[in-house]
A and B are shown apart, each in its own frame.
Chain A
Amino acid sequence: MKAQTGPRPTSSQRHRTLTTSCTAVLILSLVAACGGDDGGGDSQDGGGNPADAEATDEPLQVWVRQAEDGGLPTYQEMADLYEEETGQAIELYGEVTGFEESLIRAASAGNLPDAIIYDTEGLGQLVDWGMVQEIDPDVLENRDEILDLAWTAAQGVDGSYYAVPTSTQAFNLYIRSDWRDNLGLDDPQTWDDVVEIARAFTHDDPDENGEDDTTGYVVPGSSQRGYASWFWITLLWQAGGDYFEPQDDGTFVPTLDTPEAREAMQWLHDMVFDHQVVQPGTANHVTADSHPYFQSGESGLYHTGPYMIAGFDDEPGQDVYDVIEPVTGPAGNDTLAEGEQLYVMTGTDKADQALAFAEWVASPEGQEAGMNPGGYSVVRLPINENVSAGEVYDHPYWDVVAETFAESGRYVTPVPNFGPFRQIVADTVNIVISDPDADIDLLMDDLNEQVAAELDAQGVLAE
């Protein structure tokens, strides 16, 4: 570094500098204090025609649950393209694990963005907080092009729409095809097949390096952010269970003490402790800790989402893994489907501009830009019926994902607020996979009571 040169400041110069600095600090403090309340504009109902929305001089503030090393650059490209076409600038902010915290901070400071692109599962929570506006889907010119199934995830339990779908996806089983071939195995079709292959991947040296350094099955088992239940829910559905059963009167009966739910939990417990085929340390692993096990060649089976395809193509490499249909459990082969959608935030004065942007993201052009073939896709499967995943991606694995979504994809059962259930169940799954002596019957009874209490707290527990 070049050293600063020049005469030393005199005493009066130092005094002036100090005075200026103090004044600047005071002004900054006052500005910060005043700036906290500038976001409380009148609420808009989002009912205008977005096609008529004129570009504003101020950028539309959109938050996305993506990071710089993930989908944020893809969203930035979409925003730039949109600005080029419409003149409306988009100011993006992206964060992954701390997204909800930042949203709460922004809400308490009265500085919510104009719109967010966020998980379908979070709809109940956002509605419960009063953070998002109800929208009228009919104002979108391309409403009918958007898949009906995707629209169902944009509805609250009151039947109203609170978001515009932008992306959807289904979870598949990812398998190390070279390991499978080395051991002369076939793709798994059932839970028993998964056990057999996972055992072989763990004990039979599938990578043929002469060392006992592989495991069969990756499980993100941490309870943080509900990862453990997010993984387990597919097993639960495949066993024929669910968290609760909706009644005709809009209430729910908790169903986690059923034999189906117990079986799903027991199966996962056995994978960890009886068969010992799950990666070590699973109970503390979120997805970011789990992906590397598959990528680095330490584990060979992983039930995960298609957003990993680009990453897995790089490592371990497209030629050594396959994406296959979810396996069939005792009751079927349902698999978790989820998506993202654009929510218009309460208090924004740019609701029409936000809906116009949503309309563009849902259009074939916006969808293809978001699918970003070869890069990180923020639109995983298109929600626009006129866009074909297979054609855009030109990648065989995406065809499998699209088929899986159509045939086996299942969204979580809508309740007023799904978030607490995800966390409650995740805590129990986390206990089950960290305790070899876990009393599953007792835990499931207790879990069912917790779910009942939460349903009651949300005012929807069946009598």
Chain B
Amino acid sequence: MPTIKQRRREPAERAEAPSTPTDSKPAQRRSTLRRALTPWAFLAPALVLFAYFKFYPIGYGIWLSFFDVAVFGENTWIGLDNFTAVFQDTFLQQAFWNTAVYVVLAVGFSALIGFMLALALEGQAYHIRIVRTAVFLPAVVTVAVVAEVFRILYHPTASGPLNSLLGLIGVGPLGFIDDPGMSLHSVIGMHIWKSAPYDMVIFIAGLAGVDRTLYESARVDGASWLQRVRYVTIPQIRFAFTIVITLGIIRGVRVFPEVYTLTGGGPARSSEVIMTYVYRVSFVDFDLGYAAALSTLLFLLTAVLTAAFLFLRREKA
């Protein structure tokens, strides 16, 4: 199979054929150069904006992590001090474990529920499309609005909407975001509600590509519904799982608005995750150098986790 480069070269090679030997070389060189530069010229505006608004701030953030940053004035080079301070920071350790719990539960349950929804709502029938659109709505609602709704749902008295329902089965009233023992899980609950539909869409796209004859063969072989899901569907949409979990890890590790808008990391830091802690270090403690170091480490953590997951997937495949 020709590579992209080879394919791109083909028309140019064809165009050369009628040229005379005398003028062919400079003209060919100009033509090749122009062809090489054209895509970059089109990309240039976006690249300039990306460089200025993304790559430069990222690089500058990493650079700042080696300084004691003065909010106003000269920064002081302190080498790796900001990074070594991480190991003595008990608040960060708590935030780290909270984040780990968050990622595992939020990503796991979102994927599971998303997958189940996808199985239930796969198909082109009109009524399924309506239900699917309704189910997908949480994914497009802004987090701040969702958080306000969940604040009401989670109201920690017997008259709160969720507590009223739980009261019917003799449970509660629960504190939800007001209870340090439940606040993190309550935020995770909101995250799952919002993420599962998003995952569902990716799974549905994956399911659409599964060869129907495999199901028929499995059925002929006497496979039950569960066995068909286990031995046909899941292996066939491995790619969708990889995408959902990779994106989930990236989103989960750097989760911020869900926690900040619902609990602000409280009460008693019980729902503090790494990003809300970075925010606190930056804009409450104003220790910008340390916050930059934490952000750098978070960036590395995300990259390593994602790479490790993709590597494991590939090994398994």
Q: Which A residues form the contact surface with B (CB < 8 A)?
A: 21-22, 25-26, 29, 32-33, 100-101, 104, 107-108, 112, 125, 129-131, 213, 221-225, 280-284, 286, 346, 419-420, 423, 427, 430-431, 433-435
Contacts and interface: CB of A to CB of B under 8 A. Distances in A.
A22 B44 contact: yes
Contacts of A419: 286
Contacts of A104: 71, 283, 286, 288
Given A29-B48, A29-B49, A104-B283, A131 B178 contact: no
B285 interface: yes
A423 B284 contact: yes
A343 B45 CA distance: 41
A434 B71 contact: no
Interface string B25-61: 0000000000000000000110011001000000000
B159 interface: yes
Contacts of A101: 283
B178 A280 contact: yes
B284 A284 contact: no
Given A222-B264, A280-B157, A107 B178 contact: no
10 contacts: A26-B44, A26-B48, A107-B72, A224-B264, A280-B178, A284-B266, A427-B269, A430-B267, A433-B267, A434-B178
Contacts of A107: 71-72
B21 interface: no
A211 to B, nearest CB: 9
B283 A22 contact: no
A222 B285 contact: no
B48 A25 contact: yes
A104 B286 CA distance: 9
B263 A213 contact: no
**In the complex, the 5 A-B pairs of residues with the closest C-beta atoms, listed nearest first:** A283-B267, A434-B267, A431-B268, A107-B72, A129-B71
Contacts of B177: 281, 284
A130 B264 contact: no
A320 to B, nearest CB: 23
B180 interface: yes
B284 A225 contact: yes
A108 B52 CA distance: 16
Nearest to B284: A423
Contacts of A130: 70, 72-73
B52 A32 contact: yes
B194 interface: no
Interface in B136-159: 155-157, 159
B20 to A, nearest CB: 31
Nearest to B176: A281
A430 B268 contact: yes
B52 A33 contact: yes
A222 B284 contact: no
Contacts of A430: 266-268
B159 A283 contact: no
A346 B72 contact: yes
A456 B157 CA distance: 43
Contacts of B159: 213
Interface string B225-244: 00000000000000000000
A59 to B, nearest CB: 23
A277 to B, nearest CB: 13
Given A430-B266, A430-B268, 9 more contacts: A21-B45, A25-B48, A100-B283, A224-B266, A281-B178, A423-B284, A423-B285, A430-B267, A434-B179
A93 B176 CA distance: 38
A419 B71 CA distance: 14
A412 B267 CA distance: 25
Contact of A129 (B44, B72, B263): B72
B286 to A, nearest CB: 7
Contact of A435 (B52, B73, B157, B268): B268
A131 B268 contact: no
Contacts of B179: 434
Contacts of A26: 44-45, 48
Nearest to B279: A101
Nearest to B91: A427
Contacts of B268: 283, 427, 430-431, 434-435
A112 B72 CA distance: 10
A430 B269 CA distance: 9
Nearest to B263: A284
A362 B286 CA distance: 31
A54 B72 CA distance: 29
A284 B178 contact: yes
A88 to B, nearest CB: 26
A108 B263 CA distance: 29
Contacts of B283: 100-101, 104
Which of A100, A130, A281, A419 is most buried by chain B, counting CB atoms within 10 A of its CB? A281
A103 to B, nearest CB: 9
B266 A283 contact: yes
Contact of B155 (A112, A129, A281): A281
A283 B176 CA distance: 12
A286 B266 CA distance: 12
Interface string B71-98: 1110000000000000000000000000
A112 B45 CA distance: 30
B72, B264, B284 — which one has the most chain A CB atoms within 10 A of its CB?
A: B72
Contact of B156 (A108, A213, A281, A435): A281
Nearest to B41: A22
Nearest to B287: A420
Given A22-B44, A213-B159, A283 B71 contact: no
Interface in B256-284: 263-264, 266-270, 283-284
A130 B74 CA distance: 11
B70 A434 contact: no
A129 B70 contact: yes
Contacts of B52: 29, 32-33
B49 A284 contact: no
A33 B264 CA distance: 34
Contacts of A22: 44-45
Contacts of B70: 129-130
Interface in B161-192: 177-180
A221 B264 CA distance: 12
A23 to B, nearest CB: 9
A283 B175 CA distance: 11
Contacts of A434: 178-180, 266-268, 270
Contact of B267 (A131, A213, A284): A284
B243 to A, nearest CB: 32
B40 to A, nearest CB: 13
A294 to B, nearest CB: 17
A280 B156 contact: yes
A430 B264 CA distance: 12
B156 A420 contact: no
B48 A435 contact: no
Q: Give the most central of B44, B45, B49: most A CB within 10 Å.
A: B45
